[in-house]
A and B are shown apart, each in its own frame.
Chain A
């Protein structure tokens, strides 16, 4: 009797502790609603990160606000959803993107018309403000290798249309899918290609250099245009809308902290395309940190930030091991974040899946349908699932945990269900025939026999979770995906590996550790000896 009670006490204490841990984890991850905090977001390419870093440094040095950075969010939709939901307060956006991608309107008119249109619509619909443009346009352009342009006498996109049937296009993923990108461009100019490849932006330039592709989409401020000897073709039919860069800010943030508007307003009209190309080149090819380049950019327009408020960045050119060593602090933090994310998702997964698996074993007519639905969820691409979370949960750790949690359900539910269902049917039958109640059979026979199978499911889920958690960086949840995502953008393999290798090691480690647990849970007597 006492043993039962003590065990019960222990179990409830343990459950309380677990619950508390989860609550702490969750509260850490919720966007803190502290009154004096502003969250700056950016998309996952260099210029967006640079502008966001400039916003952040400027606000840090000219206001008392605490500034949090959520840089490298995956694309326009993720950023804008994050802004609407309040997960971030500010991010740099382009007027053309606002008009076409967010409002879904046709591009027409010049820069002023476009700005006025997005300004009034964003205010009306979402109370989101476009601050004064920063002074440069980063519109899409089509570029071809200079040598090809000379040979074929290409200076406009119309010229390109004449010969494009013989050419290989290589375009970024976002460009290919957009009405103001390749789709519209092909229609307006009647472009047809010998073939079209979808490439990562950083790879396009390499591909053009090797002449694997003959034409690519570029941004007008891209520093690599000069470096790779590319010629930008004139948009002679004014297809591409104007893409003026500006800060996009939540109205609520401006109401609470008007200084955000006035300080960021200092940047109005201060950056030229030439200057931006120079800064971008430093980021893209010299692999300088955006922290340094942002500081230099602010300096160049006379907005010196307080010395010492920004950490000195490390050089990114040493050997890989030296690089890892120089990053050990960050990597340690990221590993902990990664483990925390995975553990929280897995714990929640087990808490739901094991009881669900047991329930299904008792209500078998539901089993197939439920397991099939969970299996279907498993096939949703991770990035898509993460993106679906944003309208409901914003960006950051919470949606990441929820997405990882969803992935952990299937293996655990399936293994719990089949493990308990298939536990030694002859022993179960004999125990029942000798007068055990279904509950006794479950607790004393099915569960102990199924424990290793359940644990194998948990183990599969754990490895899956640790692996998938690298994608959480796309929605700003941190973890070892951060250097991977950034590294992909910068085509910096040291940086990619500095995230990928620890993530892989972590997965192996977790697998090994849970393998030991699985062995320990295997009931005695199940190994046949001799």
Chain B
């Protein structure tokens, strides 16, 4: 990688009080503008790793750095407001209208109302929702795909350099998922954000990511471009996973 990594995990481990190791020493560097997908089955540690990036999980050992600074030295509140986040189910606030949901972080940052509103409209348009039709609705009045778009708009609203997505398309039907994949690739191209994406779907990872990290039992088995993985699987598990994809 030519440039300095914007996001970096160095020897990151997470052991819980009862002795279970969720992460067993992970090294990962993400370059600016790059999309990295973390793939693995449930319990592989991919979500835990993702959550160390915005300090929703504190590692037991190792360091997480963002723009060269250790996140342990940052106020977690400040860090999270500067880091986009999209959970699997959208996690929209049910008693807030769509526009208020999108304005969440700008509000926390103290933007004035006009700027917030402008920004919310812009973001809704960006994710393919018409502000006129959707801004005043409540989450319960949207379809699953629309909710997920709103969640992405919300993550982008304060223009954070890094976006974390945790199974963002996992709960959607196949057609909606394909449509959102297309849109995701558009956004990736136009916005140039650094993205870490957690998914259990290898096909999704192949379609969306620049590099793929395969995780199992708290370890990063292989990290490489889709082509690397396909050509030179470094581990029998990766091999098996790839074969499964071909079926």
Residues of A within 8 A of B (CB): 424, 426-427, 429-437, 440, 444-445, 448-449, 523-530
Mark interface residues in B91-112 (1 if CB within 8 Å of A CB, else 0).
Answer: 1111111000000110010000
Specify which chain B residues have a CB less than 8 angstroms from the CB of A435 in the assembled complex.
77-82, 105, 108
The reply to whether A433 and B56 form a contact with Cβ atoms under 8 Å apart is yes
B86 to chain A, nearest CB (A): 8
B73 to chain A, nearest CB (A): 17
CA A288 to CA B101, docked complex, whole Å: 71
Closest-by-CB residue of A relative to B164 is A433
Return the 8 tightest CB-CB contacts between A and B, nearest first. A430-B91, A525-B138, A435-B81, A523-B95, A435-B80, A433-B85, A528-B140, A426-B91
> What are 15 of the A-B contact pairs (CB < 8 Å)?
A424-B93, A426-B89, A430-B87, A431-B104, A433-B85, A434-B108, A434-B154, A434-B155, A435-B78, A435-B80, A444-B93, A523-B95, A525-B94, A525-B96, A525-B97
* Total CB contacts across the A-B interface at under 8 A: 77
Tell me, yes or no, whether B48 is within 8 Å of chain A by CB.
Answer: no
A-B contacts besides A430-B91, A527-B140, 16 pairs, CB < 8 Å: A424-B94, A426-B90, A433-B85, A434-B105, A434-B154, A435-B78, A435-B80, A437-B77, A445-B93, A449-B94, A523-B95, A524-B95, A525-B138, A526-B94, A526-B95, A529-B140
Residues of B within 8 A of A (CB): 51, 54, 56, 77-82, 85, 87, 89-97, 104-105, 108, 138-141, 151, 154-155
The reply to whether B80 and A430 form a contact with Cβ atoms under 8 Å apart is no
Specify which chain A residues have a CB less than 8 angstroms from the CB of B105 in the assembled complex.
434-435
Specify which chain B residues have a CB less than 8 angstroms from the CB of A432 in the assembled complex.
56, 80
A323 to chain B, nearest CB (A): 51
The reply to whether B95 and A449 form a contact with Cβ atoms under 8 Å apart is yes
Specify which chain A residues have a CB less than 8 angstroms from the CB of B92 in the assembled complex.
427, 430
* Contact flag A434-B139 (CB < 8 Å), given A426-B89, A427-B92, A427-B94: no
* Contact flag A434-B94 (CB < 8 Å), given A524-B138, A526-B140: no
Closest-by-CB residue of A relative to B105 is A434
The reply to whether A433 and B140 form a contact with Cβ atoms under 8 Å apart is no
CA A375 to CA B140, docked complex, whole Å: 36
CA A427 to CA B155, docked complex, whole Å: 14
CA A529 to CA B141, docked complex, whole Å: 6
The reply to whether A434 and B85 form a contact with Cβ atoms under 8 Å apart is yes
Specify which chain B residues have a CB less than 8 angstroms from the CB of A528 in the assembled complex.
140-141
The reply to whether B154 and A525 form a contact with Cβ atoms under 8 Å apart is no
* Contact flag A525-B91 (CB < 8 Å), given A430-B85, A436-B108: no
Specify which chain A residues have a CB less than 8 angstroms from the CB of B139 in the assembled complex.
525
Specify which chain B residues have a CB less than 8 angstroms from the CB of A526 in the assembled complex.
94-95, 140
B95's partner among A433, A434, A436, A448 (CB-CB below 8 A) is: A448
The reply to whether B140 and A525 form a contact with Cβ atoms under 8 Å apart is yes
A449 to chain B, nearest CB (A): 6
Closest-by-CB residue of A relative to B95 is A523
Specify which chain B residues have a CB less than 8 angstroms from the CB of A527 in the assembled complex.
140
The reply to whether B93 and A429 form a contact with Cβ atoms under 8 Å apart is no
CA A318 to CA B144, docked complex, whole Å: 68
B160 to chain A, nearest CB (A): 10
Specify which chain B residues have a CB less than 8 angstroms from the CB of A431 in the assembled complex.
91, 93, 104
Specify which chain B residues have a CB less than 8 angstroms from the CB of A524 in the assembled complex.
95, 138
Closest-by-CB residue of B relative to A428 is B91
A429's partner among B87, B94, B96, B104 (CB-CB below 8 A) is: B87
Specify which chain A residues have a CB less than 8 angstroms from the CB of B91 in the assembled complex.
426-427, 429-431, 433
The reply to whether B141 and A433 form a contact with Cβ atoms under 8 Å apart is no
Which of B79, B81, B90, B94 neighbours the largest number of chain A CB atoms within 10 Å of its CB? Answer: B94
Specify which chain B residues have a CB less than 8 angstroms from the CB of A437 in the assembled complex.
77
CA A526 to CA B90, docked complex, whole Å: 16
Which of B90, B95, B104, B108 neighbours the largest number of chain A CB atoms within 10 Å of its CB? Answer: B95
Specify which chain A residues have a CB less than 8 angstroms from the CB of B85 in the assembled complex.
430, 433-434
CA A488 to CA B56, docked complex, whole Å: 64
Specify which chain A residues have a CB less than 8 angstroms from the CB of B95 in the assembled complex.
448-449, 523-526
CA A433 to CA B54, docked complex, whole Å: 7
Specify which chain A residues have a CB less than 8 angstroms from the CB of B77 in the assembled complex.
435, 437
CA A433 to CA B104, docked complex, whole Å: 11
A282 to chain B, nearest CB (A): 66
CA A528 to CA B144, docked complex, whole Å: 13
* Contact flag A434-B89 (CB < 8 Å), given A525-B97, A526-B94: no
CA A437 to CA B151, docked complex, whole Å: 19
Closest-by-CB residue of B relative to A437 is B77
A424 to chain B, nearest CB (A): 6
The reply to whether A434 and B80 form a contact with Cβ atoms under 8 Å apart is yes
B173 to chain A, nearest CB (A): 18
Specify which chain B residues have a CB less than 8 angstroms from the CB of A448 in the assembled complex.
95
Specify which chain A residues have a CB less than 8 angstroms from the CB of B51 in the assembled complex.
433
A448 to chain B, nearest CB (A): 6
Specify which chain B residues have a CB less than 8 angstroms from the CB of A427 in the assembled complex.
91-94
Closest-by-CB residue of B relative to A528 is B140
